[in-house]
Amino acid sequence: MKLTTLHKLSQMKLEKDPITVLTAYDATYANLLSKQGIDVILVGDSLGMVIQGNRTTVPVTIEQMCYHTEAVVRGNQSAFVIGDMPYMTYATVDAALDNATLLMQSGANMVKLEGGEWLFDTVAKLSDVGIPVCAHLGLTPQSVDALGGYRVQGRDEEQASQIIQDAIALQEAGASMLVLECVPADLAKKITDQLSIPTIGIGAGVHTDGQVLVLYDMLGLNLDFRPKFVKDFVAEKGVETIADAISLYIRQVKERSFPTADHSFE
């Protein structure tokens, strides 16, 4: 099977073909996801919560991210793989360069980092040396304590215009993709329409260029954490296996029947 490329993902935005993304942290799930036809696998630092059982993603290290990225890459058949840069591994441009190199050498096709305009020089440097970058705005889980909890971002005008300004700056710096987490659907649409790079939403409404969920959330495994934007695909009619649930997620994202208004914020 051919590997999905960044060029293909950019084409999908132009063709309004929704990009399907799920997280995975091991070879078995990566193999299953890619065989079901997922476009992108995100080796998210959400593994700090769903695999390690931590309260936040903050304790995750670059060594752990590299270990899980290598496992995912071994199982993957066709998906584009994004590796998350953990907490404080991109606090300076030099640190970002060293740590992004480790993730790319583990087999990632792109690295993801959380934050706004302050990352301009970092994103520019990584892009200049040929490391594709996915930015992440809105609710940025590594800053959960600074944000005062897992809450929707960009509801007031000032915050919304800051997120738009950050998105434009990060694209100008060279970011090739943008994750928008927990922002009002209208704001996500505005940003998606304004940017030439694909936007991937989680709790950001149906108008982004693609959708992402944490795998264990969409499989209904997380009984203590059921935010509004999560749908349990295992509980859907006709779903008998994990493969069925993944396939239904892909179909509903492609048809834009997921997410609905019930999974989105105003």
CA atoms within 13 A on the CB side of 128: 10
Stretch that binds ligand KIV, among 39-47, 96-104, 188-196, 257-265 (CB under 6 A): 39-47
Stretch that binds ligand KIV, among 43-51, 72-80, 145-153, 220-228 (CB under 6 A): 43-51
CA dist 252 → 19, 20, 246, 247, 258 (Å): 11, 10, 10, 9, 5
Identity of the residue, 45 or 166, whose beta carbon is nearer to ligand KIV in the bound complex? 45
Name which position in 46, 106, 171, 252 contacts ligand KIV (CB under 6 A): 46
- Output the six-digit token pair for 213: 């969920």
- Min dist CB 181 to ligand KIV, Å, is 6
Stretch that binds ligand KIV, among 11-19, 37-45, 72-80, 89-97 (CB under 6 A): 37-45
DSSP conformation class of 143: G
Name the nearest CA neighbour of 71 among 107, 20, 116. Answer: 107
Name which position in 12, 72, 188, 212 contacts ligand KIV (CB under 6 A): 212
Identity of the residue, 50 or 239, whose beta carbon is nearer to ligand KIV in the bound complex? 50
Identity of the residue, 131 or 214, whose beta carbon is nearer to ligand KIV in the bound complex? 214
- Min dist CB 97 to ligand KIV, Å, is 21
* Distance of alpha carbon 137 from alpha carbon 154, whole angstroms: 10
Residue 39 engages ligand KIV in binding (rule: CB under 6 A): no
* Distance of alpha carbon 120 from alpha carbon 37, whole angstroms: 33
CA atoms 15, 228, 183, 213: torsion sign? negative
Binding mask 224-263 for ligand KIV (x = CB under 6 A): ----------------------------------------
CA dist 218 → 27, 56, 163, 205, 206 (Å): 18, 19, 27, 16, 16
In three state form, how does the secondary structure of 149-170 look? Answer: CCCCCCCCHHHHHHHHHHHHHH
Catalytic residue among 15, 63, 172, 181, which? 181
Name the nearest CA neighbour of 100 among 78, 123, 117, 77. Answer: 123
Site for ligand KIV, residues 60 to 89, rule: CB under 6 A: 84
236 among known catalytic residues = no
Catalytic residue set: 181
Q: Contact residues for ligand KIV (CB under 6 A)? A: 23, 42, 44-46, 84, 179, 181, 202, 212, 214
